[in-house]
Amino acid sequence: MKKVAILISGGGSNMVKLVQAMTGDHPARAVIVGSNDPAAGGLAKAAEMGVATFAVDHRAYKGDRAAFEAALLQPLLAAEPDILCLAGFMRILTPDFVQRFQGRMLNIHPSLLPKYPGLHTHQRAIEAGDTEAGATVHLVTPELDAGPMLGQARVPVLPGDDADTLAARVLVQEHLLYPQVLRRFASGDQTPLILNAA
């Protein structure tokens, strides 16, 4: 049984779907949920589902990224995770941190990578006149939003879409994509999964 740790920064809707999927004959179980924000709404949701939680407030380490990550690593490593999932985790991690988990660290990014790494992905897709958008689950490497793709979900960009309406359409697919990709990954299968809701 693989042990999965999940890092969040906010509501944790992707985290909830991942935890809920890890039951029955699923080869993994969630063992801990952590956040850089003690007020992250997802922490209460994780606790309600019986998953251990922790928070390390990144603001207490202003400007000292290495110290923040050292504090984050302590409870994380104590849980001895086999797999680390970033799910709506909004802090950039240093290569030192990434290298500790490289090859077993996943992230979900709300664009069809390699298009639109970074922030404001939906607004950028709309402004570019794209007819499709979506989300990507990838292995995390030191370069931001650039690791090998493990799954992608495509949705149409509709006339009249704004960033919020497009984000909502993509989020529905994220909630389908990430649990399926994690299940495959936990069973040793890295074949990319493509979901088309376009």
Which amino acids are annotated catalytic?
A: 109
Binding string, residues 135-154; x marks residues near ligand GRF by CB under 6 A: x-------------------
Task: Return the residue of 14, 35, 53, 152 that touches ligand GRF, per CB under 6 A.
Answer: 14
Output the smallest distance, CB 154 to ligand GRF, in A.
14
User: Given the rule CB under 6 A, which of 8-16, 46-54, 60-68, 185-193 is the region that contacts ligand GRF?
Assistant: 8-16
Task: Return the residue of 34, 81, 110, 147 that touches ligand GRF, per CB under 6 A.
Answer: 110
Q: How is 107-135 classified by DSSP, letter by letter?
A: EEESS-TTSS-SS-HHHHHHHTT-SEEEE
What does the alpha-carbon distance between residue 85 and residue 100 come to, in Å, rounded to a whole number? 13
Strands (E), the chain: 2-8, 28-35, 52-55, 83-86, 105-109, 132-139, 149-156, 193-196
Binding string, residues 72-91; x marks residues near ligand GRF by CB under 6 A: ---------------xx---
Note the residue count of the chain.
198
Q: Which residues contact 149 (CB under 8 A, 6 or more apart)?
A: 113, 136, 137, 138, 192
User: Given the rule CB under 6 A, which of 7-15, 96-104, 123-131, 181-189 is the region that contacts ligand GRF?
Assistant: 7-15
- What letter represents residue 178's amino acid? Y
Which residues on neighbouring strands pair with residue 84, listed in sequence order? 5, 105
State the residues that interact with ligand GRF by CB under 6 A.
8, 10-15, 87-88, 108, 110, 135, 171, 174
| Binding site, annotated residues | 12-14, 65, 90-93, 107
